Amino acid sequence: MIASLTHVRPLACAAASACLYPARLVPQPPDLIKWVRREGGFVHHSIKVANLEEEKTNGLGFGLVAADDIPKGSELISLPQHIPLRFDEQSSTLIDLAQHIPDELWAMKLGLKLLQERAKTGSFWWPYISNLPETYSVPIFFPGEDIKNLQYAPLLHQVNKRCRFLLEFQNLMKHKLENVKLDEHPFGGQNIDASSLGWAMSAVSSRAFRLYGNKRPDGTHVDAPMLLPLIDMCNHSFTPNAEIVQEKEANDGNMLVKVIAGSQIKQNDPLELNYGCLNNDLFLLDYGFSVPSNPYDCIELKYDPALLDAASLAAGVSSPNFSSPSPWQQQILFQLNLHGQNSDLKVRIGGLELVEDRLLAALRVLLTNDKEAVENQDLNTLKSLATEAPLGISTESAAFRTIIALCVIALEHFPSKIMDDESILKQKVSTTTELAVKYRIGKKCIIIDAMREFTRRAKLLASKESVTTQ
């Protein structure tokens, strides 16, 4: 059956390529701009597809570029209702398979539809699919050594979780499809392995947008992920020059997906959208790149009394209550969802907030024995870093020193130092090694920046305390 599929390769995917720009599914795919225009879409005459410099594309290689200056407010791309690729409800087999996909891996659901269209001779979306990369530089395709090179436990957990799912889903699909007749087989009889599933999930996670999708019977539109041909070749920026909008067509009420210039786009500038205010874990997992100096990046810790005891001891803080909080302290921890059944023990340091407000409030409360002082403050005040020393300077100083010690402990969990990482990058290494090393450098920089900021704040508090005691 595979041999009869004249326009596709078998549904198998190699590991992440060592080359900087991965090949497309076919050597010379159709012109995507011409296809969009032919199918009733609009593409601004000054837009072209180009192979861009790595730093402008986050390593993705291809992107959309302005061939001439484009004024702010210009319509750049418009896709009518039938061009975006969505997960439809027409295939009962796909619907059954999709029910076994956890919500957090939503990209796999649309990925099934993508695989179905990739396997279909004469698919309407073949001009789009043939332009997709043959491989993706996401961690599920990293060699084992480069997965280890990430050095960050929360991300390693997510990578292993996704790989485990793909293997389990491969086996489930084999069981579900083994007795399906060839003319009813959603993938034309082709075997779907974990590698092809990973390719489809990566294609969707790195390119799909969650927008208003299909109509309900009452005429309203449902929020749904969809692949947007050509639009998904816009690259990422936190300060984008373009934005996606949706509007109804006047004649039939169908939804148009448009890209509008949010600012003037100069000649040779890439078209950029904001993929979201995400941390580098999500950028790397879903898109295959990390953003240097990402303001939304952070490190994740577990709220663990033993860890906090060790940190406070290292910080020289006396008599903390982390392991044995008083009943009134436990009640506040419960309100912070850090105590009791079904509590959320993941807390963050770094990023725009510097420290997660729940962790800051917990430290402030557990580092004081003054129940009355705590009861005189509302929870929002205790959680706010902008509120200066709500429980007194000595408690605030102890909290800051404990955070610094937590940062030191977190930094020590990385096997390598930044100078070691930088020396690796000076050598000729594979793309995946480079991605892993740059990612872990970013995590270490977050920790160091947080340590510096809390050290600065602790010194400021110490100077104020010395003034008040004189």
pLDDT of residue 57: 44
pLDDT band with cut points at 50, 70 and 90 for residue 58: very low
> Which has the minimum average pLDDT: 10-19, 346-355, 377-386, 410-419?
10-19
> Nearest Cα to 459, choosing from 401, 409, 378, 418?
401
> Nearest Cα to 362, choosing from 345, 342, 386?
345
pLDDT of residue 122: 92
Residues 6+ apart with CB under 8 A from 459: none
pLDDT of residue 10: 45
> Which has the minimum average pLDDT: 49-63, 75-89, 377-391, 417-431?
49-63
pLDDT of residue 215: 58
Cα 358 to Cα 29, 321, 328, 338, distances in angstroms: 51, 16, 16, 8
Instruction: With beta carbons less than 8 A apart as the criterion, state whether 200 and 181 touch.
Output: no
Residues 6+ apart with CB under 8 A from 321: 329, 366, 367, 369
pLDDT of residue 409: 96
Q: What percent of the chain has pLDDT over 70?
A: 89
> Nearest Cα to 164, choosing from 105, 204, 205, 124?
105
pLDDT of residue 366: 96
Average pLDDT over residues 294-319: 93
Average pLDDT over residues 261-270: 96
Q: What is the pLDDT of residues 164-173, one digit of tens each?
A: 999 999 999 9
**DSSP secondary structure of 362-413:** HHHHHT---HHHHHTS-HHHHH-SSS--TT-HHHHHHHHHHHHHHHHHHHHT
The DSSP call for residue 140 is G
What's the whole-number average pLDDT of the chain?
89
**What's the pTM?**
0.89
pLDDT of residue 302: 95
pLDDT of residue 62: 79
In this predicted structure, the answer to whether residue 49 has a pLDDT above a threshold of 70 is yes
Q: What is the pLDDT of residues 65-79, one digit of tens each?
A: 999 999 999 999 999
Q: CB under 8 Å, gap of 24 or more: what pairs does 262-269 form?
A: 262/72, 263/72, 264/69, 264/70, 264/71, 264/72, 265/66, 265/69, 265/70, 265/241, 266/66, 266/69, 267/66, 267/67, 267/68, 267/69, 268/65, 268/66, 268/67, 269/65, 269/66, 269/241
Residues 6+ apart with CB under 8 A from 337: 343, 344, 358
Instruction: With beta carbons less than 8 A apart as the criterion, state whether 214 and 86 touch.
Output: yes
Residues 6+ apart with CB under 8 A from 345: 302, 303, 304, 338
Task: Specify whether the backbone of 446 is left (phi greater than 0), alpha (psi in -120 to 50) or beta.
Answer: alpha
What is the rounded distance in angstroms from the CA atom of residue 202 to the CA atom of residue 179?
28
Angle at 351 between CA 102 and CA 363, to 5 degrees: 95
| Type of residue found at 370 | D
Angle at 48 between CA 45 and CA 54, to 5 degrees: 150
In this predicted structure, the answer to whether residue 195 has a pLDDT above a threshold of 50 is yes
In this predicted structure, the answer to whether residue 53 has a pLDDT above a threshold of 80 is no
Q: What is the pLDDT of residues 433-448, one digit of tens each?
A: 999 999 999 999 999 9
Strands 255-261 and 75-79, bridge-based pairing: antiparallel
> Which has the minimum average pLDDT: 226-240, 318-332, 356-370?
318-332
Q: What is the pLDDT of residues 395-438, one digit of tens each?
A: 999 999 999 999 999 999 999 999 999 999 999 999 999 999 99
Average pLDDT over residues 196-223: 80
**Alpha helix positions (H), 82-223:** 92-98, 106-119, 126-129, 144-148, 153-177, 194-207
